[in-house]
Amino acid sequence: MRLKGVAASPGVGLGRILLYREPDLNFDKVVFSGVENEKKRLNAAVAKFKEEIALLAAAAEKRSGASQAAILTGQVAMISDPYMISRAEELIAKGQVAEAAAAEVAQGFEDMFNALEDEKTRQRATDIGDLKKRLLGILLGVKRLEWSEIADDAVLVALDLPASVISSLPMDKVLAFATEQGGLTSHGAIMARSLGVPAVTGLIGLMGQELKDGQPIVVDGSSGEIILDPSPEESRDYVSRRQAWREDQASLKIYLKKVAVDKDGTRRLLGSNIGGLADARQAQEFGSDGVGLFRTEFLFLDRATLPTEEEQTRIYAEVASLFPESEVIIRTLDVGGDKQPVAFDMAKEENPYLGLRGIRYYQVRPDILKTQLRALSRGAAQYGNIKIMLPLVISLEEVTFVKALFKEVVAELASEGLPHAEEMPLGIMVETPAAALIIDLLATVSDFFSVGTNDLTQYTLIADRGNPQVNHLCDPFHPALLRSLKGVIGEARKAQTPIGLCGEIGGDPRMLPLLMGFGLSKFSVNPASLARVRRDMSSWSLAEATDLAEEILTLPTVESVKARLKKALDQRGKTS
């Protein structure tokens, strides 16, 4: 039987199923022992939680780097949020046992994040669910699973695999992961990629199958497919595919720290898209040319209170310190749509994607933007490599509004005697058709541009990428979007305004030569994609890329575009 899911971590794993079973965390029979005693139990469990996570994080850092350890320590930050503890203590004061209080508070956050459509945002729900289960296990005295009996050909199959579970595994024995839940940006998937373990997530209905420990299974993390009880022919086929993948991975090693150059030897900047310090550290480990996009909304989503100016200043400065010789582009808060932090109490809208989101929210809450601009200016004081980028711009007036507010901020910081940057480059995300059509005008008030292909695609094609009924229409290889990209890049170059691209499509080997042919020389992708993009980039000369791009622009349909690109890549020995 074959099941299709999300290709979360490339490679092929052939082995036997090891089912991961959640421990029994039922607390119905726990007896309330008094308010003060229940609070003591809660705080003791929180302290034990932090201790366990610290040990797992240390092991993760030793095994796969600081960025993976930071995924775990992020749970410590969550549980340290004063709101979570105080809210749980309030429930205890009303007569709930520590287990019920902790579960109710965590569940509230878990439900909130699960309701959001953005995959990376929903990952917070998995992290909080992991936190809840570990904390309940400590309170209940449930023994954590031991992995000493794992066979050497284990393929771990589960409903979901949180980061803390993966960190406790003997990775010399686990060949692959397969989970019913999770996605490409889930922390389990990120850790799998970091460890080089094939993984498929989002396998709907997986746990509804009659699975047994020891059952043969194939996990193809490159195609997003698994095979239960493969035939001898299928097994032989996937043994060959596994060998091919291993050879491909070996070829990437030489690109881990290389600079990005094309076939002509021309230098091209290749930065990283990040959501916080963990991603930034991973980007540094993989030799990134700075940060092409720091999504700061993730600093606001994990909490019930707004991050302070001091907290933001510290984080921005630390990211800047990781790339002292490269630019760090930090996007100001982008809320609305599917990103609605609980601390904001945003009003419900009929169509939030076309409502009060992105830069429009600053008119309603300029205080939030002002605090962030203060933190950005202060964070840039030492290194001076931070650039500010604005989301969802459609007009010159929006940019000039932020510029005026930044001048106020600088004057305030100077009067307070705080170290800060007097001037900072200010650019915009080109992610709306309006911005694409007036790029020449926006160039008069912008220091740089960065194309955000996710939103530009869905707004250009009028298709919600989060809606399963129409997301198949949200295809970046649509001729309309390709013409838009060509026009935007051309107009920016004509205006002599630097332009890059921070959409993940920039890492697609099919799109890469088109963007190069359109004249793009700055890219920003997921840190885990850096080595592969460097390799793919080195196979194209500017002349080859330009010829292909010009030909592609003459094609009338998505299908014809993809077919021609597949042919071009196949001729170079690559797969799409």
pLDDT recorded at residue 189: 76
pLDDT recorded at residue 185: 60
pLDDT 10s digits, 344-396: 666 677 777 788 888 998 888 899 999 999 999 999 998 899 999 999 999 99
pLDDT recorded at residue 81: 77
187 is catalytic: yes
Listed in order, the ranges of the chain carrying CATH 3.50.30.10 are 2-20+146-232
Nearest in space to 126 (alpha carbons), one of 54, 193, 56, 190: 190
CA 454 to chain centre: 13
Q: What confidence category does residue 145 fall into, taking pLDDT thresholds of 50, 70 and 90?
A: low
pLDDT 10s digits, 433-490: 999 999 999 999 999 999 999 899 989 999 877 666 777 788 899 999 999 999 999 9
More confident position, 65 or 102: 102
474 is catalytic: no
pLDDT recorded at residue 66: 58
Name the helix (H) or strand (E) containing 331: strand 328-331
pLDDT, average across residues 39-53? 90
Dihedral over alpha carbons 369, 374, 379, 383 (to 10 degrees): 110
pLDDT recorded at residue 53: 82
The span from the CA of 171 to the CA of 381, in Å, is 42
The CATH number given to 35-140 is 1.10.274.10
The span from the CA of 298 to the CA of 291, in Å, is 15
pLDDT, average across residues 337-345? 60
pLDDT at residue 131 tops 90: no
The span from the CA of 347 to the CA of 156, in Å, is 42
pLDDT at residue 244 tops 80: yes
pLDDT recorded at residue 117: 55
More confident position, 412 or 454: 412
Tell me the average pLDDT of the chain: 87
pLDDT recorded at residue 121: 60
pLDDT, average across residues 204-219? 91
pLDDT recorded at residue 576: 42
Listed in order, the ranges of the chain carrying CATH 3.20.20.60 are 266-571
Q: Residue 158: beta bridge partners?
A: 179
Amino acid, single-letter form, for residue 2: R
Percent of all residues in the chain with a pLDDT value above 70, rounded to a whole number? 90
pLDDT, average across residues 501-529? 91
Q: For the residues of 452-519, what is the DSSP string, one character each?
A: -HHHHHHHHTT--TT-TTTGGG--TTSHHHHHHHHHHHHHHHHTT--EEE-SGGGG-TTTHHHHHHHT
More confident position, 486 or 295: 486
More confident position, 191 or 308: 308
Candidate from 20-34, 48-62, 110-124, 291-305 with smallest mean pLDDT: 110-124
Q: Out of 3.50.50.60, 3.40.30.10, 3.50.30.10, 3.40.1280.10, which CATH number does the structure's domain 2-20+146-232 have?
A: 3.50.30.10
Give the sheet arrangement for strand 216-220, strand by strand: 2-4, 225-228, 216-220, 12-19, 154-158, 174-179, 199-201, 6-9
Candidate from 90-99, 122-131, 301-310, 401-410 with smallest mean pLDDT: 122-131
pLDDT at residue 186 tops 60: yes
* 25-60 as b/e: b if 16+ CB within 10 A: beeeeeeeeeeeebbebbeebbeebeebbeebbeeb
Q: What confidence category does residue 174 fall into, taking pLDDT thresholds of 50, 70 and 90?
A: confident
Q: Which of 420, 474, 478, 502 is catalytic?
A: 502
pLDDT recorded at residue 531: 92
Q: Which of 187, 420, 474, 478 is catalytic?
A: 187
pLDDT at residue 178 tops 70: yes
pLDDT at residue 541 tops 50: yes
pLDDT recorded at residue 276: 85
The span from the CA of 112 to the CA of 346, in Å, is 13
* DSSP label of 276: S
More confident position, 246 or 567: 567
Listed in order, the ranges of the chain carrying CATH 1.10.274.10 are 35-140
Q: Out of 3.40.47.10, 3.90.1300.10, 3.20.20.60, 3.40.190.10, which CATH number does the structure's domain 266-571 have?
A: 3.20.20.60
pLDDT at residue 115 tops 70: no
Question: Radius of gyration of the chain from Cα atoms?
Answer: 24
Candidate from 40-49, 217-226, 328-337 with smallest mean pLDDT: 328-337
